[in-house]
Amino acid sequence: MKLDLSLNYLLRFQHFQAAIGKDIADVTLIARRCSRRNGTRMWRRGADSDGYVANFVETEQIVQMHGYTASFVQIRGSIPFTWEQIVDLTYKPKFEIVKPEEAPRIAERHFLDLRKTYRSILAVDLVNKHGGEGRLSEKFSNAMQRVSSDDVR
């Protein structure tokens, strides 16, 4: 896959060899961080109205061994709707869902862009299902019901 670097990506690269049993594998890790909505984890959350999520990172793992090459791409980013976290000195700062009525449209826009780039998407919700984060998880689940299809699960 060819990545359009004009999309403001910051790259990190590491190459090393790893022993797998008696064999040696060449391993390359490439992390591409989008700079559209970057910021530290607590200060930049959610998505903008165009569906660009905060702290979006694409990580590619390339393994070469015995003349074969395998690649696996994983992406991560903030939950794709407008929300913000009020940073204070507590362990789990409170957050606020901004314009909740726009959440389904923003999530649809986000996954439309992902499908254009990656074709098939498997989304995994890693948010705590209880307490305050449970509201985020529930809102994400509701938005995903409109987005789910053969190529987005």
| Cβ-based burial of 92 (10 A; exposed 0-12, middle 13-18, buried ≥19) | exposed
Amino acid identity of residue 113, one-letter, is D
CB–CB of 106/139 below 8 Å?
no
Band (pLDDT 50/70/90 cuts) for residue 4 is very low
Q: Could you report the per-residue pLDDT of 48-107, keeping only the tens digit for each?
A: 888 889 889 999 999 999 999 999 999 999 889 888 777 677 777 777 888 888 888 899
What is the 3-state secondary structure of 36-71? Answer: CCCCCCCCCCCECCCCCECCCEEEEEEEEECCEEEE
Cα angle, residue 128 at apex, residues 122 and 129 outer, rounded to 5°: 90
Question: Model-level pTM?
Answer: 0.77
CA distance 59 to 38: 16
